[in-house]
Amino acid sequence: MGDNPASRVYVNNKKKACEECGFKSEEFALPEETTEEELLSLIDTLNKRDDIDGILCQLPLPCHINEEKVLLAIDYSKDVDAFHPVNVGKIMIGNFDFLPCTPAGVMELIKLTGIEVSGKECVVIGRSNIVGKPQAMLLLHANGTVTVCHSRTKDLASVTKRADILIAAVGKANFVTADMVKTGAVVIDVGMNRLDGKLCGDVKFDEVSSVASAITPVPGGVGPMTIAMLMKNTLKACKLHNNLN
CA distance 230 to 82: 10
Question: Is residue 1 a contact partner of residue 30, using CB atoms and an 8 Å limit?
Answer: yes
CA distance 3 to 18: 22
Which ranges of 49-166 would DSSP assign to H, the alpha helix?
Answer: 67-73, 85-93, 101-112, 132-141, 156-160
Q: Is 154 a catalytic residue?
A: no
Q: Is 14 a catalytic residue?
A: yes
How many Å separate Cα 41 from the centre of its chain? 26
Q: Which of 53, 78, 79, 81 is catalytic?
A: 81
The 8 Å CB, 24+ separation contacts for 111-114 are 113/186, 113/214
Q: Which of 53, 58, 133, 164 is catalytic?
A: 58
Q: Which of 14, 120, 133, 182 is catalytic?
A: 14
What sign for the dihedral angle of Cα 121, 176, 180, 112?
positive
Q: Is 81 a catalytic residue?
A: yes
CA distance 109 to 195: 26
**What positions carry a catalytic annotation?**
14, 58, 81
